[in-house]
Structure formats: structure tokens, C-alpha cells
Amino acid sequence: MVVLAACDNESPKPDMAGMKVPVSVITVQPTPTQVYAQLPGRVEAIKDAQIRARVTGIVKEINFDQGSEVKEGQLLFTIDPAPYEAELNRARAELQRVEADASAARVQAKRYATLVKSNAISRQEYDNAQAAAQQAEAAIAAARAAVQSAEINLGYTRIDSPIDGRIGKSLVTEGALVSAQNATQLATVQQLSRVYIDITRSTTQLAMLRKALEEGILKQNDTEHVEIEVLLEDGTVYPHKGRLLFSGVAVDPSTAQVTLRGEIDNPDEILLPGMYVRVRLQQGVDEDALLVPVQAIQRTPDGLNTLMVVRDGVVHPVAVAVGPEIDGKYLIYKGLSAGDMVIVEGFQKIRPGAPVQPMPWNPGAKPGAPGQPGAPGQGGGDAKPAADTETPTKG
């Protein structure tokens, strides 16, 4: 038995070093692809009306529900009108007085015009009568202006909404004293059915984009109607698309960035003023884009992005420059060539220089399924994909 055991221990073992680990791969090929840039943006209301006091007085009534939709011309606040009604009555009485004086002056001027012809009065008396009549007419114009001013001030005691929109909270209460001199703010009405999105972009990115367009790497389809997509704070895509209105014409010296403005429909009022969003902005079409699945990107300890490429049946790590994510794939700018065989699954048991057995990647297959890396009898397994990387914009 001892002899048999010794013979069994001396039996040859399989050469593990010569085994090829199965991995799932794709062969990258140039594909015409619409390229986008993801940029930060802030939502701004298209119309933002601050409701302020235009006369001084006591707030008598608040005539709206806070946070509700209001229409243009809808009554919002009422300021005590009593002092302004009294001022209007005084102005109207003054107008009546000067009209009476003007009537007497006109009659006297007309009478003097007849008497001066018969030398019954002096020319000086006639001139004085004519001047008095003209002064009376001027007094009527001034009195009418005073009446109009009093009517305007009385109208300002009823504060209406200047636009359609949603009104926020009331900044004053009934009984509060508001001032015309300080233009006391009472509330804010914002139109939210459509909103602006102010986007910031660095001058470096603009320069890279111009270079890519000049060299023919990117081609723009329509420079006048550039679409934008909005990504909300939770990463979901906003269902409505907008358009870019203009590109910034001045650089902020403190940040070296320019501002772009887009406009987008907001029928459900999901986008609120001040909200932070990410904006996906069309750059152009890359006719020879090289795309790899997200999980193919590996992150090295020094922070570089790499791909595992199979060449001559052996694994080779390749440092790459990663662009934006497009439909679950990353655009690769540098480090990869058309026809390269990139490993997508089966990272667990491979290392640089290891021989591997490439198999076509099947995105719909579950890990461990027959014919997939990590299945029973297979030597490989799936590694955890690299962490999300910052997506530098092309150009």
C-alpha cells in the first residue's frame, strides 16, 4: 500500500500554466455616432416678475392662494385706497375751479378784443386779458394731469399679476405697511411652462471642439437648431427635449467659462428655478467612433483608464482616453484601434501576458451560463467593472 501511494503521488499533473482562460470579447469597429457633451446647468424661469408696492400704504387684503397658478391681470393685493381716493377728489375739485377761472378769462379776453378796436381800453389791458386767458388754459392742463396722476396712484392700490404663472409665498401680511420709496417686494410670479437652462462651458472645451470640427473628426448636422437633453439630479432623462438659443459671447474672467442658454418645455413644472441639472449637448457626428461597453473599462491604481486587449492570444493592458457615455458604451478617443479585440467579461482570472481563449460576448447571457466565462468547467469569472469615470467631452 505504501508503494502504491508513492506511485499515485508521482502521477503527472496537468500544466495549469498552459491553460487558456475563456473570456468574452468584442471586436471594435468604426461606427458613425452622434457625440454629446454633458455640461452643468441651472434652471431659470423665462419670466420672473417681482411684485412690488408702487404706492405707500397699509395692505388691506391678500387676494390669492399662495403657491397657486395666477393669470395676467388677476388681483393679488389690495392696499388701503382711502387716502388716494381723497387725493383724487381734491384733484378733480381743483380742475373744476381752474376750468371756471378759465371760462371767465376767456370771456374777458373776448370782450377786450372788441373794446380795443374802438380804443375804449388800452392795448396793454387787452394784452393782459389775453395772457390771463392763456394762463387759465395752462392751469386746466396742469389740473387734468393732477387728476390723471391721482387716478394712477389709486389704481396702484390694486396690485395685479403682470404675467401668467405660479405665485410663491406672500412676503407681507394684512396690516403691513408697504413703501413706494423702498419698492417693498410683496411676492414673486414665475412662468414655468417653459424654462431657460443656463449652461457653463470652459474655453478649453470650446477650443477642442473647434479643433475637432476643423480637422474633420466631428461633423455638425445643423448648427442653427442644436438639441439639448436634460439629466435630472437622480440621473433620469427628462422626457422633453429643448434647443440651444445661443452660445456665450463673453468669458467670465473669474472662471474662464462661457455661458450657453437653452430653452425647454416644462408642462409638468418638474424643472424649477435654481435647480441643478446636467445637460447633454449635441457636439456633432464622429464618423469613425470606437465604442466599448461600460464594463470593459478598468481603473488602474494610479487612476488611469485601461482596456484589456487580446493580441496573439495573450492579454495586453492598453491605456485609453475615455469620452462620454453613449447608450451604455464609452467613446474611446485614444489608445484603441479598429479591429482590436477587447475583453468585456472574464477579468477575474486573467493578468497581463496570460493566454486566453476569446469567445464572442453575449450581452443577454447570465454569468455562469454554459459557454460564458465563469460557467462550470470554465476557468474565468467576471470582474467588477471599473468605477464610473468622469466623462471628458470631445472637443
pLDDT tens digit string along 88-132? 999 999 999 999 999 999 999 999 998 988 888 899 998 999 999
Give 12's pLDDT tier (boundaries 50, 70, 90).
very low
Q: Of the given ranges (143-157, 190-204, 377-391), which has the lowest mean pLDDT?
A: 377-391
C-alpha cell at 343: 475583453
Q: What is the rounded average pLDDT of the residues 19-47?
A: 86
139 pLDDT above the threshold of 80 = yes
235 pLDDT above the threshold of 50 = yes
Q: Is the dihedral of CA 37, 38, 39, 41 positive or negative?
A: positive
**CB–CB of 322/305 below 8 Å?**
yes
CB atoms under 10 Å from CB of 391, counted, come to 16
Amino acid at 64: F
77-82-84-88 Cα dihedral, nearest 10 degrees: 130
Highest mean pLDDT among 54-58, 229-233, 283-287: 54-58
**CB–CB of 139/101 below 8 Å?**
yes
372 pLDDT above the threshold of 70 = no
Domains plus CATH for the chain?
A: 35-46+190-286 (2.40.30.170), 54-79+157-183 (2.40.50.100), 81-156 (1.10.287.470)
**CB–CB of 167/76 below 8 Å?**
yes
**Given this model, what pLDDT does residue 88 score?**
97
**Given this model, what pLDDT does residue 221 score?**
60
Of 194, 190, 204, the C-alpha closest to 230 is: 194
Q: What is the rounded average pLDDT of the residues 274-296?
A: 84
H helix intervals, 67-225: 82-117, 123-155, 203-214
**CB–CB of 376/369 below 8 Å?**
no
SS3 sequence, 226-266? CEEEEECCCCCECCCCEEEEECCCCCECCCCEEEEEEEEEC
Burial of 388 (0-12, 13-18, 19+ CB in 10 A): exposed
Amino acid at 186: L
Amino acid at 199: I
CB atoms under 10 Å from CB of 18, counted, come to 7
- State how far the Cα of 333 lies from the Cα of 33, in Å rounded to an integer: 13
357-363-365-370 Cα dihedral, nearest 10 degrees: -10
394 pLDDT above the threshold of 50 = no
Number of H helices, E strands in the chain: 4, 20
